[in-house]
Amino acid sequence: MSKPVRVAILFSGRGSNMETLAQHLAKPDVPGQFVLGVSNRPEAGGIGLCTRANIPCAVIDHKAYDTREDFEADMQKALASARIDLICAAGFMRLLTPEFVTHWHNRIINIHPSLLPAYKGLNTHKRALDDGAKQHGCSVHYMRAEMDDGPVIVQKHVPVHADDTPDTLATRVLAQEHVAYPEALDIVLEKLASQQP
């Protein structure tokens, strides 16, 4: 049996995707282990989820750093000391430098609330509605140096309804995020687990 893949989850807010991944990783047949949460915001709701699940959480407040590089150096220290193999960004609202992303090449994945490559960046639901899009959704993808770029692992589509608001559409997409992320994680874990000693 190969060793379980050690997973860190990066988040900035309420942490519903982190919670979904945590539940998935707790299943005995999933070859990964959730060993570290990382939040860049001390007020993030997800921190309480880590505490309740007994998972250590590194709170690394980006506002306490003069540069992105210094902030990321402390993130790298926390990730290294937890011997992390794979990073899942789950609502982590901080741009990572190309150096950081390259360091974790194919070992850092992200969820984005749109059908990439459509609607990279913020306010995806409002932009889809403003465009009159009939379909919207979410994507889990390998991270690359460009924001919201990189090979897609799993996408889920949802219909856009005529009376949707950004909030109603976000709720429909979020339900699919909670399906897409565990599916994508399984695909990535299988690849990584086969490379573990």
Rounded CA-CA distance 117/164 in Å is: 22
Instruction: Compute the Cα dihedral for 113, 139, 18, 70 and give only its sign.
Output: negative
CB of 167 to ligand GAR, least distance (A): 12
Asked if 116 and 144 count as a contact pair (C-beta separation under 8 A), the reply is no
Q: Which two tokens stand for residue 151?
A: 């090979």
One-letter amino acid identity for 176?
Answer: Q
Q: Which is nearer to ligand GAR, 72 or 177 (CB)?
A: 177
CB 196, min distance to ligand GAR, A: 27
Nearer to ligand GAR, 3 or 121 (CB): 121
Candidate list 24, 62, 105, 112, residue with the active-site label: 112
- Residue in the shown chain whose Cβ atom is closest to ligand GAR: 91
Contact set with ligand GAR (CB under 6 A): 11, 13-17, 90-91, 111-113, 174, 177
Which of 6/178 has CB closer to ligand GAR?
Answer: 178
**φ/ψ (deg, to 5) at 158:** -130, 150
| Shortest Å distance, C-beta 124 to ligand GAR | 7
Residue closer to ligand GAR (CB basis): 32 or 113: 113
Kindly state the smallest distance separating residue 102's Cβ from ligand GAR, in Å: 19
Q: For every residue of 78-123, which 3-state class applies, written as one string?
A: HHHHCCCCEEEECCCCCCCCHHHHHHCCCCEEEEECCCCCCCCCCC
Let me know if 105 is a catalytic residue. no
**Catalytic residue list:** 112
